[in-house]
Structure 1
Amino acid sequence: MAQYFATVARGLEAIAARELESLGAQSVRPEFAGVAFEGDRTLLYRVNLWGRTLFRVLVPIAAFRCTSVQMLYREVRDIDWENYLSPENTLAVDCTGKNKQLNHTHFSALQVKNAIVDRQRDQFGVRSSVDVATPDLRLNLHIHRDRAVLSLDSSGSSLHRRGTRPAVGAAPLKETLAAALLEMANYSPEIPFLDPLCGSGTLPLEAAMKAANVAPGLFRDRFGFETWRDFDAGVWAQLKQEAKAARKLELPAFVGGSDRDADVLQQAKTNAERCGLGGKIAFQCADVREIEAPCDLGILMCNPPYGERLGDRQQLGAFYKQLGDTFKQRFKGWTAYVLTGSKDLAKQVGLRASRRVPVSNGGLDCTLLEYELY
């Protein structure tokens, strides 16, 4: 059994922990902005393939006291890097966290890189090149107080990049947050789902992928672990084949999205086609005032603009009121969810929230408001 650590958005640790347990992870422990867990290599691959709320899956290889540049360099240089990469392999280092002595993440990452390539030069006379985009080995250094943890990054690029969305509208939700919002709303495939402000389609796409049992990692070009020395191509091929076979051909219930911007709605349709859901999601070009409930009950969810400037706020107040009126008049029997970063605008909805869940959206403190529509 190996030790792993999945990084997640702040506040989503408990949701991610439940997801990891459902995928077969052992000894699951939520921590700040992440979840520690244990498992074998097959689990590592499976979590990358199926994780909906995770950013990265890290494999810690060293933990050490770190209170100076010299200490960091020395500890990293002492690691047997020849077990992980050779000079012809490319390398990249990310850093998160800091302390008083190491307070610049780029500088700390540079020290890790220097320690590795200096060791290589001494041993082989040549060194690895840096490739920040698609390295053979991506490393993550995390510094907290006087401790540092150095990990291999098995994901490569962040898992929120599903590979299904080349087209994005303005200020899109991250897919990982969209998946977490669906969990907060207790969404399940047999419940109809509609986003009346869907933009480039993130929420309906995540709902449809869950409903059709589509593994979100199936459409990515590559994962970090695929260029590791111990990569098991047979196990990976089998996991992907099982994921393809597990997909459902039809959605059990209605999934839809509407937006008044025809161009951005076309992006949503393109994104749906890329993940094999073309024609499965009911997209409609319509203003909020025009939409009707497609079924007697279901989940409405949207992420309306929050408005940073005063003029926007005044205009948006009327829009939020219209949103509340539409929900109340046309969606009796449904449960509505509104993600907002503005308490003032939330009041304009004019409905009593039955639940308020704090959510961090790209560093903004937001609230997911739940409205039961009778």
Structure 2
Amino acid sequence: MAHCRGISFFFAVWIILPLANGFIINPPSVSRNSKTSLSAGSSHIAGEAHSSLSSSAPSSYLATCIPGLAPALAEELEGIHPEITDISQSGNAAVTFTATREASLNVLCWTRTAHRLLELVAATNQEDQLYDKNDIHTFINQEVNVRDLLGDGMGGLLTLSVKAILNNSRQLPKDLSHSHYTALSIKNALCDVVRDMRGDRPDVDIDNPDVPLVAMLRGYNGGASLSLYRSLHPPGSLHKRGYRQGSAIHKAAMKESLAAGLLMEAGWKGRVDAARNGHDKKSNICLIDPMAGSGSLILEAAMMAADISPGLMRIRCQVPGQSSPPVIRWKSELDTTKLWKEILLDASNRAKTGLEWIRSDQTQLVLRANDIHAGAVEILEDSAEAAGLLTLIDVSSMDCFDLQMNEKDASCLVVTNPPWGVRLTEDVTMSWDALRHFLRDVCPDNTEAWVLSGHKAATASLKLKRNKMVPIQTGDQDLRWVQYIISSNQERRKVHKTGKQTLSTSTSGDRGDDSW
């Protein structure tokens, strides 16, 4: 994979090229002269009584994330665009909201914590339930505006894919309990409606469809409710930034979206924003990861500091389908291609301004990443270079026990994800001993530290009083993002002498499970 070397080249030259050449709409699979257009009159128009999907009116959206990060995602959405409203958490792993098309495109460009960004197409009513593929067909035929969904507005058809996600699957009817066959039933129903209207069928594209559909079914008393969404981005997760392509992935690498969400919970973005807006005095912002591994936390922190959007990074790193995402190919009253180009240009200008601010005399940015394993450090440096961020980061490779702080590290935020015995099992005790020494004996008084752990005993070995804890779940692993405010030397000696740690009970900052 080719990468542009150097941050100034990245923003001054590279991003301009896709704006001129990267927004070519896929040719329609059917000639406008060969078949009747979906946008033309028809004796059978599915969903005619429902609002047009091509309307510029606000739509309903669902953004998904790692379980535990819904509060961070909701807070993030509030700051992206003023036309994002009705933000509401849906469990601990999703957020619903209402937005205009322009606002939704801004979310696609700027969200750091979301995995999927989905626009609601149609949903069953609360009192209605589906039981078999015939019910699926009836739902598609009556509730989905297939003309606007799959028509390209120029007489042709858009390609599609369908993915089914099953929730509470034990309560689903047998005919709808298999995700592959349920997705196939939805695809067939859509194709049947198109065939009835114009005599042909839309093509399926698994890799880069024009309309990636996501069907979410929930079982209840033997029936199923269905919400059908279309994804604004290609199939796959938004957590990928692209700077790790072509490099070996560390076996314990943290997802970029998780790193971004943890940093938001730790207040890093708030610190950066406050420093950027404080023009009356020199701004000092510092972050250190003493056990950085392959660098997820430090790389996401650098992107936030430089005000680089994830969408811009994905395009820069040539992630497929990002320059021309599915959403800009949909039939619309708006010129979405122009809107997307303007949003990317604004993001490019913001990144340029952010980098100029970092280099200015008014800013002192310190980003330090350290890890004892040379292989992990090499991966970190490769990713940082691919992202154009290496010059912002001070990288070292030493034992955390030997790491020291200096004057530039005053008021530094410490964030880290030490090994805790699942994916990394070697030297766990020594690692936590070294981290305890660094936090208790090296960090200045009142240093704020955040530690991610999946093992209660390992966390307790720090012998530090917890101030706040955020439960996080990745896969089958229950984690805790724990905040400590390093106390005075006298208080440290007292805790060390007793050998006990007093875990705070429910504090105003805690969310959810307080079992630790």
TM-score normalised by structure 1 residue count: 0.92
1:41-62 Cα deviation digits (max 9, x unpaired)? 1101000101111112211111
Q: Give me the whole-angstrom Cα distance separating, in 2, the residues matched to 1:22 and 1:273.
A: 29
Q: Shift of residue 88 of structure 1? A: 5.2
Q: Give me the whole-angstrom Cα distance separating, in 1, the residues matched to 2:100 and 2:157.
A: 28
1:298-317 Cα deviation digits (max 9, x unpaired)? 111111222149x948x412
Q: Give me the whole-angstrom Cα distance separating, in 2, the residues matched to 1:212 and 1:39.
A: 26
1:278-299 Cα deviation digits (max 9, x unpaired)? 3111111222122222412211
Q: Give me the whole-angstrom Cα distance separating, in 1, the residues matched to 2:404 and 2:188.
A: 60
Q: Shift of residue 170 of structure 1? A: 1.3
Equivalence for 1:336 = 449
Q: Shift of residue 63 of structure 1? A: 0.7
Equivalence for 1:74 = 138
Query: Which of 111, 115, 129 lines up with 2:203 in the alignment?
Result: 129
Q: In the alignment, residue 231 of structure 2 is paired with which amino acid?
A: D
Equivalence for 1:9 = 66
Q: Does 1:27 align with 2:105?
A: no
Equivalence for 1:366 = 479
- Would you say the 8 A contact 2:85–2:98 is kept in 1? yes
Q: Shift of residue 208 of structure 1? A: 0.9
Q: In the alignment, residue 340 of structure 2 is paired with which amino acid?
A: W
Q: Does 1:217 align with 2:283?
A: no
Equivalence for 2:435 = 323
1:86-125 Cα deviation digits (max 9, x unpaired)? 5753221122233421333222222111211233334444
1:293-347 Cα deviation digits (max 9, x unpaired)? 24122111111222149x948x412321221112211112322211111112212
1:156-197 Cα deviation digits (max 9, x unpaired)? 232111223223311221111111111211112253111122
Q: Give me the whole-angstrom Cα distance separating, in 1, the residues matched to 2:381 and 2:331.
A: 39
- Would you say the 8 A contact 1:321–1:350 is kept in 2? no
Q: Does 1:52 align with 2:112?
A: yes
Q: In the alignment, residue 217 of structure 1 is paired with which amino acid?
A: G
Query: Which of 209, 218, 227 lines up with 1:149 in the alignment?
Result: 227
Q: Give me the whole-angstrom Cα distance separating, in 2, the residues matched to 1:256 and 1:362.
A: 29
Give the unaligned 5+ runs of structure 1: none
- Greater mean deviation of Cα atoms: 331-340 or 37-46: 331-340
Matches within 5 A, 1:157-306: 157-166=236-245, 167=247, 168-187=249-268, 188-189=271-272, 190-220=284-314, 221=319, 222=322, 223-230=325-332, 232-247=336-351, 248-249=354-355, 251=358, 252=363, 253-294=365-406, 295-306=409-420
Q: Give me the whole-angstrom Cα distance separating, in 1, the residues matched to 2:200 and 2:102.
A: 34
- Would you say the 8 A contact 1:141–1:151 is kept in 2? yes
2:466 counterpart SS class: coil
Shift >4 Å, 4+ stretches: none
Q: Give me the whole-angstrom Cα distance separating, in 2, the residues matched to 1:134 and 1:29.
A: 30
Q: Give me the whole-angstrom Cα distance separating, in 1, the residues matched to 2:476 and 2:383.
A: 25
- Greater mean deviation of Cα atoms: 236-245 or 102-111: 102-111
Q: 1:170 to 1:312 in 2, by over 3 A?
A: closer
Q: Give me the whole-angstrom Cα distance separating, in 1, the residues matched to 2:420 and 2:137.
A: 45
Q: CA RMSD in A?
A: 2.2
Q: Give me the whole-angstrom Cα distance separating, in 1, the residues matched to 2:336 and 2:178.
A: 36
Q: In the alignment, residue 40 of structure 1 is paired with which amino acid?
A: T
Query: Which of 100, 104, 107 lines up with 1:40 in the alignment?
Result: 100
- Would you say the 8 A contact 2:150–2:158 is kept in 1? yes
Q: In the alignment, residue 205 of structure 1 is paired with which amino acid?
A: L
Q: Give me the whole-angstrom Cα distance separating, in 1, the residues matched to 2:448 and 2:439.
A: 9
Q: Shift of residue 212 of structure 1? A: 0.8
Q: Shift of residue 224 of structure 1? A: 2.8
- Would you say the 8 A contact 1:322–1:349 is kept in 2? no
Equivalence for 1:307 = 421
Equivalence for 2:213 = 139
- Greater mean deviation of Cα atoms: 80-89 or 27-36: 80-89
Equivalence for 1:115 = 189
Q: Does 1:84 align with 2:149?
A: yes
Give the unaligned 5+ runs of structure 2: 1-57, 273-283, 488-516
Q: In the alignment, residue 264 of structure 2 is paired with which amino acid?
A: E
Q: Shift of residue 367 of structure 1? A: 0.7
Q: In the alignment, residue 243 of structure 2 is paired with which amino acid?
A: T
- Greater mean deviation of Cα atoms: 98-107 or 168-177: 98-107
Structure of larger gyration radius: 2
| Percent identity for Structure 1 against Structure 2 | 28
Q: In the alignment, residue 90 of structure 2 is paired with which amino acid?
A: E
Equivalence for 2:461 = 348
- Greater mean deviation of Cα atoms: 235-244 or 290-299: 290-299
TM-score normalised by structure 2 residue count: 0.68
Structure (1/2) with the larger strand percentage: 1
Q: Shift of residue 245 of structure 1? A: 0.7
Q: Give me the whole-angstrom Cα distance separating, in 1, the residues matched to 2:145 and 2:474.
A: 39
